Each structure stands twice: as structure tokens, then as C-alpha cells.
Amino acid sequence: MSNTTTRRGALSGVRVLDFSHQAAGPWCTTLLGDMGADVIKIEKPGRGDSIRYADRSGRLPPEIGGLNFQGLNRNKRGITIDIGAEQGVALVKRLAPKADVVVENFRPGVMDRHELGYTHLRAVNPRIIYCSITAFGPRGPLAQKPGMDLIIQATAGLMGHTGEEGGPPIKSAPPVADINTGIYAAYGICGALFERERSGEGQHVEVAMLDAVLSLFADNAANVLTEHTMFGKFGSGHPDLVPYQAFPASDGYFIVACLTNAFYKRLASVLGRDDLLNDPRFATNPSRVQHREHVVGVLSDIFKQNTCAHWIALLEANDIPTCRVNRLEEVLASEQIAENKLVVERDDPKRGHISVLGPPVHLSRTQTCFERLAPMIGEHTDEVLKELGLDDTEVAALHAAKVV
């Protein structure tokens, strides 16, 4: 592994060439960067990653990158290479022997057409770990179909089961297809790096966004595949647990999560509703699932009579799992997030003041940290190229040819 990174992270010394764009691939490489990997984000000169342009405030120009870009691309250095030019391809092949990992999320076949696919780079570096992220997989009837978070959420069944029965399909608020895929890709890369320590050989890691999202239904899919269950919409709850959902209070929504029958018995008792215990329709969780509408209706009528704070205090005093349904601005401002030190604030001469989320994983011996904000287009091109062996004349010639 390379030794340019000085941070003491679990992946210190691992160099990543990141050709990915938008969200799934960049999130994967951000997670690797959190662990200390030297992530080099490679973008097209003059244009860069298209998510740079997603800035609702209009405060940050694309060459810096809007806040969406900032949130997904911490802990990376940025360079530009035009892989559509022969000199650009030659440059990548010159860099690849000094890299440990390559990440790309183009449609299947794009990198091969540029002679930068796994077999091409493996020829110059047999130890390379090459991760390909696709929307639907490298083969099959949907392989060449364009896919982004919304398309994958719909195709994989997430939208079809989200929302209330009788209502329209609803996407998950965060881009779970992108984020979940990025996590799986980082997981696969770490596994391949570990195996390489034994064999000395690299390998091809493949992750389809469709598979990553469908895996979120692991428990429900077992029911569909084995018992041919046909689930409806899940609402705010769980198809196999009642009550286990959001309920309306007089001033908002809060959660009642009776994961076990013991929690349910305490709930009925504290509400003074022995009928919810004695009626055989409600005595067990399976029977409550069968009579979900009645149980939820009775509880909803009760909970609407007082505030979220009242019910949460009462349930917590009786060891019944509960919480308020928060909005994003509320949880970000909470004491718990402050204690977890998840929010990172930075002031930069060119970017201004930026607050973003930092690494969510912490290791006791090898640190994870927020070392740098997302790179500007080509911010580290000269630095990286010279570090990897090019001299001033070569770098100047590449600039003149608009390859970098």
C-alpha cells in the first residue's frame, strides 16, 4: 500500500482513485477517506461532478461545489483528468500502479470503452481493488437503463410500500438508495483489501444499487419468497408488530414501539384500558396484527387528547419505548447530536462558513476525522501529479493540452 497519508487512520496508506459522481460512489469514497485513505477525486476538466451544481442557495459556484456536494465529498483531494482523451487515459494508467483502489459508477461498459475497466487496470496493477457501482447490475435487461436514487427507490419496491394505505407512493426523505449503496461499496472494498493482505491479489468489487436497496427488505423478502406474503403500505409502522408506529397527539406525532408483548401490557395498564388486555383480539401480537385498524383507532383517539410531551413522559416513566417524531432541524440542534460531535463547522477563505455532518463511525485505536472540506475542481491536480512522479514540464504540457 502507498504511504503518502500521514493521518493515523485504519486505512492510512491506502490510495483511492475516485472516478465516481453524484452520490453513491462519492459517499463510498468519503467513508474510505474518513478512515484515513488518501482519496483522489478525479473529475472532468472545466465541468466536474454534476452534483456540484445542486446548490439551492446559489452561494457556492460549481467550481467550489454547492452544499449537497460539500455534504457528500469530505476528506478528498481533487484533480482533473479528461479520460476522453488518449493522453488522459495514458495518465490514469500511469497513476494506477501507485493506487490501491479505483471506484467508478458509470453505466456498464463506459470505463471499458475508455480502456480503463478492471481488466485494463489490472494489467498494470494486479493488486488493484476495482469497485464498480451500477444502477441495476452489469448484465440483464435493465443494465443500460439510467438509474438514480428516485428511480431505484421506485424500482426496488421502497416507494411502493412507503406511505399510508390508500395514499400515493412516497420516496424516503434521504437518498437511501445512494447512501446505502455507498456503504455497501465501502464494505466490499474493505473486505477486498483485507483479502489482498493474504493473497497479494486485487479483485473486482461490484455493487448494484437495486440490490443494495432490496437488501433493506431482508426480513420482509423472506416472507414474500417463502410464504408468498403480499404486503401493503407500511405507514409509519411495521407489518408484523402492533402497536409499533407514530401516533397523533394534540400537538404533533410521537412513537409507540411495543416490540414485545410485555411493552404492550404495560401500555394498556398505564392507559387504564384493561379491555385492550382482556379482549382475545388484542391479547397477543399476532391477533393485534389481524385487528390492527381497531387497535390503532382506539389508541389514536386516546393520544389525541393530550400533548406529545405528556404521553412521552408517561410512557418513559413506565419503560415503554417512545420518542417524538423530529424534523431534521430539530435533531441537528439536539443535545445528543452535540454530544456525539457529529456536526463539523469550518471557515474557509473561498468557501465561507460551512457546517456539515462528520464521520458517523469511531474506532478506539485508529481515528476517524474530518480533515478537509470537499475539493474545488482540480484544486490538488498539480500537487497530486507531482507527488505521483510527474515533473513540472509534464504537468505544464498536460495543462496546455487541456487533459487536466
- Cα-Cα-Cα-Cα dihedral sign, residues 237, 239, 244, 250: positive
H or E segment at 29? helix 24-34
Answer whether 44's CB lies under 8 Å from 125's CB. Answer: no
**Catalytic (active site) residue 178:** yes
35 class by beta-carbon count within 10 Å (0-12 exposed, 13-18 middle, 19+ buried): buried
SS3 36: coil
Cα-flanking dihedrals φ and ψ of residue 225, to 5°?
-70, -35
Answer whether 47's CB lies under 8 Å from 111's CB. Answer: no
SS3 38: strand
Answer whether 244's CB lies under 8 Å from 256's CB. Answer: yes
Alpha helices in 167-317 (DSSP H): 176-199, 209-214, 218-227, 261-270, 275-278, 285-290, 292-303, 308-317
* Catalytic residue, candidates 178, 240, 279, 301: 178
Which residue type is seen at 370? F
Distance CA 66, CA 73 (A): 11
Catalytic residues: 178
